[in-house]
Amino acid sequence: MDGSAIADLIPWADVGLTGLVSIGVVMILTGRLVPRSTVQEMRHERDARLSDLRAAYDASEEARRIQGEQLGELLETSRTNAELLEGLRQGHDPGGRQ
């Protein structure tokens, strides 16, 4: 059962002050009710982790962009070398004449 279904089963009018305090203590002990400062600290830590992850993602994307540019340049160089070698092979006469 979820929390709202359990809350519907409790007769709130008959709980009284002692019951409400007991519920509050149980919620504090189980971690369902925490101080605002704790929540703000958790949010601050989460935001710090997110900013670190964003920075790492941006650095990774920059490295990927640079790698793509370098691969393009290498591909162009290899095509040039292949054309040069093909031209040398076609221009070479096995009898020693060119």
Q: pLDDT tens, 54-73? A: 999 999 999 999 999 999 99
pLDDT of residue 91: 81
Task: Give the sign of the dihedral formed by CA 45, CA 47, CA 49, CA 52.
Answer: negative
Structure confidence at residue 3 as a pLDDT band (50, 70, 90): low
User: Quick check: pTM over 0.75?
Assistant: no
Q: pLDDT tens, 31-48? A: 888 889 999 999 999 999
pLDDT of residue 94: 60
Task: Give the sign of the dihedral formed by CA 23, CA 29, CA 33, CA 36.
Answer: positive
| Cα–Cα distance for residue pair 62/71, rounded to 1 Å | 14
Share of the chain above pLDDT 70, in %: 87
Rounded to an integer, what is the distance from CA 42 to the centroid of its chain? Answer: 18
Average confidence (pLDDT) over 15-25 = 85
